[in-house]
Chain A
Amino acid sequence: MKYLDEFRNPHAAKELLQSIKNEVRHHWQIMEICGGQTHAIMKYGIQDLLPKDIHLLHGPGCPVCVTPLSKIENALDLAARKNIIFCSFGDMLRVPGRDNDLLKVKAKGGDIRIVYSPMDALTIAKDNPENEVVFFAIGFETTAPATAMVAYQAKKENINNFSMLVSHVLVPPAIQAILSSPDCQIQGFLAPGHVCTVMGYQEYEPLAKEFKVPIVITGFEPVDLLQGLLTCITMMEEKDFSVNNQYGRSVQREGNVKAIELMQTVFKSSDREWRGIGSIPKSGFDLQDAYKKFDAELKFGLAQTKNREDSRCIAGEVLMGSRKPTDCTAFGNSCTPESPLGAPMVSAEGACSAYFRYRE
């Protein structure tokens, strides 16, 4: 397929690995933020191909993993209600709440529909005027424009039986939180290519400068990842603390201006709880006042509950890169994709599911 296959060229991959071996002169710790990149790294065995001096850490770029437990409980509450059609991305269906998940609610008769696009949820609302339709709006900045467009259309067309449970999260505040942590060992970052396709990379420049780390905008195909790693290693060796775009076919510095404008119209940034990690300031999106009628929490009077996680689950430490999934005592025995204790074992982008799938 064009623009995919060429970026999987094994000869180019081998040459890039050789260049990496030639370039490395010190021990380095690099974090990739995006769960999609974590999975690609595991799938193509990239960590094992790299020189032993390069240590890859996996960041919290898995929106399914970081959706706060209280939002999951809200989702379970709404999905079980008789008159509600609850629409969600497929990933969320097996994320464990306190003692339940959406798939179990569906099995008990909840009308839960898997959608590929938020637009599908709006179509369902238009086709079912006698039901309330709620869309579970999770995702990073890559997905927020889709939610924003749906909110914009819903308002324009006055679709009153539609609302959203909003739980979008933002990458730069997470990088800031990770770098500000006193035991942060990370010396370079691979920034998520599709988040940056939408947002551009202006927000990353002050971070690179303040914390003295190179940040390399990287794609998702194996050759893209090796290119990103080679660039990051070269920059660390040369003490080049800036942002470098290695996904130029998709990313421009200013991002997608129309998408950014519409997101600013529909959303405002807010403090957000990240599951397993805690609250990160200004790291999420809430609906602006003009769009509040589409806020499912307001519409249905949902409470914010404080819940306890399973004590065996170390998801928070895995998400911040301070522990590996294999460090967890429950990994592979009491926690598996079939019976997960936490979200990173369920999500297609979670580090735990990547390790389970590609290492065992």
Chain B
Amino acid sequence: MCLAIPGKIMEIQEGAPFDRKGKVSFGGTIREVHLGYVQDAKIGDYVNVHAGFAIAIINEKEAAATLALWNEAAEKEELRRKS
């Protein structure tokens, strides 16, 4: 229930701010998503979607930083395993 899934914005239908909707791709499956709460979202952005509403734009920089940390951790683990 409180799960939000990340998807990529493919299309936006502009309108009044709270009428903003779009088509979002979840790994290939396209669904209509309400974009009223992510006014700054653009085509190509990834958003976290819950109950048909985008609740946040995924912060690419933060995601990249987290992944870099974990990739480093993963490499350490592989080295340890091989030694």
Does A192 belong to the interface (CB within 8 Å)? yes
CB distance from B33 to the nearest CB of A (A): 9
Determine the distance from Cα of A259 to Cα of B50 in the docked complex, in whole angstroms: 13
From A1, A36, A146, A223, contact of B27 by CB (8 A): A1
Chain A residue with minimal CB distance to B60? A249
B71 touches A12 (CB 8 A): yes
B78 touches A11 (CB 8 A): yes
Chain A residues whose CB sits within 8 angstroms of the CB of B63 once the complex forms: 3, 249
Chain A residues whose CB sits within 8 angstroms of the CB of B37 once the complex forms: 145, 149, 256, 258-259, 262
Chain A: interface size category: 35 or more
A64 touches B48 (CB 8 A): no
New A-B pairs, 11, CB < 8 Å, besides A139-B1, A227-B70, A249-B58? A3-B63, A36-B3, A118-B52, A119-B53, A142-B55, A143-B50, A194-B2, A220-B3, A249-B63, A256-B56, A262-B18
Mark each residue of chain A from 110 to 145: 1 if its CB lies under 8 Å from any CB of chain B, else 0: 000000111110000000000000000001101101
Determine the distance from Cα of A18 to Cα of B77 in the docked complex, in whole angstroms: 9
Task: Give the dominant DSSP class at A's interface.
Answer: helix
Chain B residue with minimal CB distance to A224? B66
Interface size on B, residues (CB 8 A): 40
CB distance from B45 to the nearest CB of A (A): 11
CB distance from A134 to the nearest CB of B (A): 17
Determine the distance from Cα of A117 to Cα of B8 in the docked complex, in whole angstroms: 19
Q: Given A1-B27, A258-B36, are A15 and B74 also a contact pair (CB < 8 Å)?
A: yes
Mark each residue of chain B from 1 to 28: 1 if its CB lies under 8 Å from any CB of chain A, else 0: 1111110100000000010000000110
Determine the distance from Cα of A153 to Cα of B34 in the docked complex, in whole angstroms: 12
Residues of A whose CB lies within 8 Å of any CB of B are: 1-4, 6-7, 9, 11-12, 14-16, 18-19, 34-36, 61-64, 89, 91, 116-120, 139-140, 142-143, 145-146, 149, 152-153, 192, 194-195, 197-198, 220, 223, 227, 248-251, 256, 258-259, 262, 347-349
Determine the distance from Cα of A250 to Cα of B66 in the docked complex, in whole angstroms: 12
Mark each residue of chain B from 54 to 83: 1 if its CB lies under 8 Å from any CB of chain A, else 0: 011011101101110011011111101000
From A36, A116, A197, A227, contact of B51 by CB (8 A): A116
A12 touches B74 (CB 8 A): yes
Chain B residues whose CB sits within 8 angstroms of the CB of A6 once the complex forms: 67, 70
CB distance from B9 to the nearest CB of A (A): 13
Chain B residues whose CB sits within 8 angstroms of the CB of A259 once the complex forms: 37, 55
Determine the distance from Cα of A348 to Cα of B3 in the docked complex, in whole angstroms: 11
Chain A residue with minimal CB distance to B75? A11
Chain B residues whose CB sits within 8 angstroms of the CB of A62 once the complex forms: 1
